[in-house]
Amino acid sequence: MLVKSQRGRTQMKPIRMFAATGMLGYGYAEESIQCALEMDLDLIAADAGSMDPGPYYLGAGQAFVSRPAAKRDLSLMMEGGAKKGVPVFIGSAGGGGGDPHVDWLMEIVREIAAEKGLHPKVAVIRSEQSKDALKAKARAGKISPLGPIGELTEDEIEDSHRVVAMMGPEPFQKALEDGADVVIAGRASDAAIYAAIPLMRGADAGLAWHLGKIIECGAQVAEPRLGGDGVIGTLYEDHFTVEPGHPEKRVTRTRVAAHTLYENPSPYHLKEPTGLVDTTHADFAQLDDRTVKVTGSRFEPANRYTVKLEGVKALGYRTVSMAGTRDPILIGQIDKYVEDCKARATFEVGQLDIDPSTFRINVHVYGKNATMGAIEPVQETAAHELGLLVDVIGDTEEISKAVCAKMRYILLHGDFEGRMCISGNMAIPFSPSDMPVGPVYEFSVWHVMECDHPLEAVCMEMEAL
């Protein structure tokens, strides 16, 4: 939107957006959204997903935040949007952004609308991909690896359990053009959620994308860091500002500059579906105690439109068991003991007609090298106690449970050099001691797909509540 200055020069009207939280369900202060609603606001939004929690949630179609937490955050946003007359955007619905995740969040949207007497027009944007469509793209040479991973084959596509495409800003823009009050989108670029409206209004692309990158994690750029919270980003013609929603917090230039590097392999370049954000010449200035001003971001358009593909395949079923020891004799030889127990467990489950190829046993030794595993540089531990997490993945849940039971028993009662205890080597904190935790998935698709047009990888439907 353009306005005329006092001197008659056409200027862009500032675009102000409230990023309620870095993750829907992680929470934010009500004071923050109330302060934002007192301003001339253009958007209330939140990212709702990530692949950081691993492949399970995408594969299982489950959220990694609780339903009450997601409902609380979204309810305040929907009420605020209705009161202010501004749109509400949610990207990467339900965590993984697949169809089950979108459906889960839409149930909450309908529930909020009914309870609060709201009647929004909701755009539901899905980005889960069909296997047939992916195979056609692969055959056409339109899918390439993202990082050190092989080409995506048709067999790998067939073996996949769920694949989503990370949409850009255009689906959000289309939803607004079609009159949406609320947008519930599947997997989406975090920054695209916030870049959509500025780009739609002709704002500088470098600044728009960079602002989206900075505010997508909410108050991660603010101090003090006391739980989740929201921030306010305002885009002007030649710069943008970031300030906290909460009156008792502040945004610092150090945190804003650092967040430019966050989750990004390059310190200066951020790749998005439409091109490359270049922050080489970006300048970060502290305007006042609470606000940071950013200038100098640039944008290089891509010659082809691409979306990131994220997909998982099923591996089997997991059962875990926890145990601890403070026996100094055992602690001194724990690596050998664990390997001996794994070998014995493998032998004994063979007597149950369980083939070794149908399971794998991992033991994470906390207090020694559980975090870094084989690449832990400190080889010896001075810990007075160790925690052991037995992790068994089997082709079936019954295999997983049977192998875990054997491994737990052998760890508890196995012999080792210098052993003095006679009743048990381990303290087990829980009864039952073995805990089946369900299906296991691994990432199998981490690629980039070329699209014929920006809406090719999504489908959208409108629902009036």
What is the spatial distance between Cα 269 and Cα 278, in angstroms, rounded to a whole number? 5
Q: How confident is the model at residue 379 (pLDDT cuts 50, 70, 90)?
A: confident
Contact 48, 41 (CB under 8 A): no
Q: How confident is the model at residue 1 (pLDDT cuts 50, 70, 90)?
A: low
What is the spatial distance between Cα 457 and Cα 206, in angstroms, rounded to a whole number? 24
Matching residue, tokens 């105690």:
289
Q: Is the pLDDT of residue 7 over 80?
A: no
Q: Is the pLDDT of residue 10 over 90?
A: no
Q: Which two tokens stand for residue 160?
A: 């996949």
What is the spatial distance between Cα 97 and Cα 100, in angstroms, rounded to a whole number? 8
Contact 461, 186 (CB under 8 A): no
Range name among 58-67, 151-160, 252-261 with the lowest pLDDT average? 252-261
Average the pLDDT over 416-437 and give the result. Answer: 95
* Bridge-based pairing state of the strands 15-19 and 43-47: parallel
Quote the pLDDT of residue 261. Answer: 87
**What is the Cα 327 distance to its own chain's centre?**
40
Q: How confident is the model at residue 11 (pLDDT cuts 50, 70, 90)?
A: confident
Q: Is the pLDDT of residue 105 over 90?
A: yes
Write down the H helix ranges in 332-396.
Answer: 334-350
Quote the pLDDT of residue 265. Answer: 83
Range name among 109-123, 192-206, 217-231, 276-290 with the lowest pLDDT average? 217-231
Q: Is the pLDDT of residue 80 over 70?
A: yes
Quote the pLDDT of residue 120. Answer: 98
Q: Is the pLDDT of residue 43 over 90?
A: yes
Peptide bond into 432 cis (omega under 30): yes
Residue 69 backbone dihedrals phi, psi, to 5 degrees? -70, -45
Task: Assign 397 to helix, strand or coil.
Answer: helix
End-to-end CA distance of the chain: 29
What is the spatial distance between Cα 171 and Cα 189, in angstroms, rounded to a whole number? 11
* pLDDT tens sequence across 207-240: 999 999 999 999 999 999 877 899 999 999 999 9
**413-450 exposure pattern, b = at least 16 Cβ within 10 A, e = fewer:** ebebeeeeeeeebbebeeeebbeeeeebbebbbbbbbb
Quote the pLDDT of residue 440. Answer: 98
Q: What is the mean pLDDT of the chain?
A: 95
Q: Which two tokens stand for residue 170?
A: 């255009």
Range name among 94-103, 220-229, 310-319, 382-391 with the lowest pLDDT average? 220-229
Q: Is the pLDDT of residue 6 over 80?
A: no
Q: Is the pLDDT of residue 166 over 60?
A: yes
* pLDDT tens sequence across 171-202: 999 999 999 999 999 999 999 999 999 999 99
Quote the pLDDT of residue 9. Answer: 55
Q: Which residue has the higher pLDDT, 270 or 181?
A: 181
What is the spatial distance between Cα 365 and Cα 391, in angstroms, rounded to a whole number? 11
Q: Is the pLDDT of residue 459 over 70?
A: yes
Q: How many secondary structure helices (H) and strands (E) does the chain include?
A: 13, 23
What is the spatial distance between Cα 278 and Cα 160, in angstroms, rounded to a whole number? 34
Q: Which two tokens stand for residue 338?
A: 């664990």
Predicted structure pTM score: 0.93
Quote the pLDDT of residue 148. Answer: 87
